[in-house]
Amino acid sequence: MPKTRINCPNCRQPIMADIDQLFDVGQDPTAKQKILSGAFNLASCPNCGFKGMIATPLVYHDPNKDLLLTYFPPELGLPINEQERIIGPLITRVTNSLPQEKRKAYLLQPQSMLTKQTMVERILAADGITKEMIQAQQDRMNLLQRLINASDETIAEIIAKEDALFDSDFFNLLNRLIEASAVNGDQESARRLGDIQKKLLVNTGFGKQIQEQSKDVEAAIQALQSAGKSLTREKLLEMVIKAPNETQLSVLASLSRPGMDYEFFRLLSERIDRARADGRDRLIKLRDQLLEMTRAIDKQMEERLLQARKNLTKIMQAKDIKETMTQNLSLVDEFFVQAFNEEMEAARKAGDLEKISNLKQVEEVVDKASTPPPEVALIQELLDSATSDDELNKKFEGHKTEITPEFMDMLSSLLVRTESGEDAELKARMNKVFSSALRITMSANLS
């Protein structure tokens, strides 16, 4: 985003700021997230200390939803004809970015939004998110804020009074906030939210359901792990027949989907043919359940792969592929990798050098992001050498300059994680490496 020279809204002195007026999802896959986050067109003034959002005309375009929205800040106080003069070129840019066959009638009738909040609600509504859903999410945030600020006694009162509000959506929100706090290094918030989560799991109706389901999930996973490499279709069939509830059955279906193929269902049909009375009815019902579960799993897999293909296509169409990929690394999963491999294979077969070059840019960003820092590789080398004191000392001698504060921070973090594990040998080697590294650091400081 290029820097723009503007006047500070407070003191009117000229300042430089990142100003964006056009948010076109067709050109930038991150445009929707940017405008929904509200973290755009922010400026700070070194003269008067002003920090805030700059009031500026906005145009939002999503070609997949036939959505073209405009917003003109009322505080600018410009007449309609002047507003149209400013907004017009932005809409022209949207139209010109589309091939002729994709220029539809909605481009001729942009929807004018009275407030930024109205624009956000309209964008969300196009995704099926209603005002009522937005309000419900705000209510959950307010409830969570009450819990964060409450004492232990007050938390118990809130839980007793608001038990019906602690549903799956609330627990999902709480999980996301805990993860975000941990990722951002806010350990105090993560700890506080984690304590609240523990209380809710034990004392709310939905929390107790989660705990029971967790036990069922764990039991199904342990059954599969116990079978290990010796798992056959016959053993899998016995597991699903003996599954005590639908939760365990769904876990088995999800984790063992490749094994539930034609041969598996043939074996199940044979069991049905041999069964009698109630046992036969139960197996027929089980077969119907499994068929429905596997269809749902397959559909979900297809949808995720389709979305991954769309995400990759949007990134490939961006003006700056590397920058767009960097901003969307969270999209990379097994489905994104599969979509990438399919596109690369097709491009190579077709001899499409331009497409191959663009895909290489995507690959470069992903590879760079997935490459562990050099400290991790060095720690692994040292752990491999820790079985022998002489070999470990030699290894440290060759890497003295790499024993930096950053290295020690990472090593300390890994040491703490290892201590909570059950691998006694790994603990011993990690402690030996840490002790040797600490000696080198202390010697360097004394010198």
pLDDT of residue 341: 94
15 plus 37 within the same structural domain:
yes
110 plus 158 within the same structural domain:
no
Q: Could you count the other beta carbons within 10 Å of the beta carbon of residue 272?
A: 16
385 plus 364 within the same structural domain:
no
pLDDT of residue 420: 54
116 plus 143 within the same structural domain:
no
101 plus 192 within the same structural domain:
no
pLDDT of residue 40: 82
Burial 39-74 (b: 16+ CB within 10 A, else e): ebbebebeeeebeeebebbbbbbbbeeebbbbbbbe
pLDDT of residue 262: 94
pLDDT of residue 149: 87
436 plus 422 within the same structural domain:
yes
312 plus 397 within the same structural domain:
no
Question: Per the domain annotation, does 432 fall within a domain?
Answer: yes
378 plus 365 within the same structural domain:
no
65 plus 154 within the same structural domain:
no
Question: Per the domain annotation, does 277 fall within a domain?
Answer: no
8 A C-beta contact, residue 428 and residue 387: no
396 plus 432 within the same structural domain:
yes
Question: Which of 83, 101, 126 is the endpoint of a domain?
Answer: 126
CA 61/CA 399 separation, integer angstroms: 53
27 plus 114 within the same structural domain:
yes
Report H helices in 371-423: 374-385, 389-397, 405-419
Answer left, alpha or beta for residue 173, where phi above 0 means left and psi between -120 and 50 means alpha: alpha
Question: Per the domain annotation, does 394 fall within a domain?
Answer: yes
Model confidence, pTM: 0.50
Q: How many helices (H) and strands (E) does the chain have?
A: 19, 8
pLDDT of residue 2: 57
**What's phi and psi for 71, nearest 5 deg?**
-140, 130
Question: Per the domain annotation, does 399 fall within a domain?
Answer: yes
* Segment-wise mean pLDDT, segments of 10 residues, the chain, 447 residues: 76 84 87 80 83 88 92 88 89 90 88 89 86 82 88 87 88 81 71 87 89 86 84 92 91 90 94 89 93 93 92 90 87 90 94 93 87 76 80 81 77 68 75 81 65
CA 29/CA 24 separation, integer angstroms: 8
8 A C-beta contact, residue 80 and residue 70: no
Question: Per the domain annotation, does 234 fall within a domain?
Answer: no
Question: Per the domain annotation, does 63 fall within a domain?
Answer: yes
Residue range of the domain that includes 427: 374-446
Question: Per the domain annotation, does 192 fall within a domain?
Answer: yes
8 A C-beta contact, residue 29 and residue 315: yes
Question: Which of 181, 203, 225 is the endpoint of a domain?
Answer: 203
Number of domains present in the structure of the chain: 4
Question: Which of 338, 369, 400 is the endpoint of a domain?
Answer: 369
107 plus 143 within the same structural domain:
no
Question: Per the domain annotation, does 361 fall within a domain?
Answer: yes
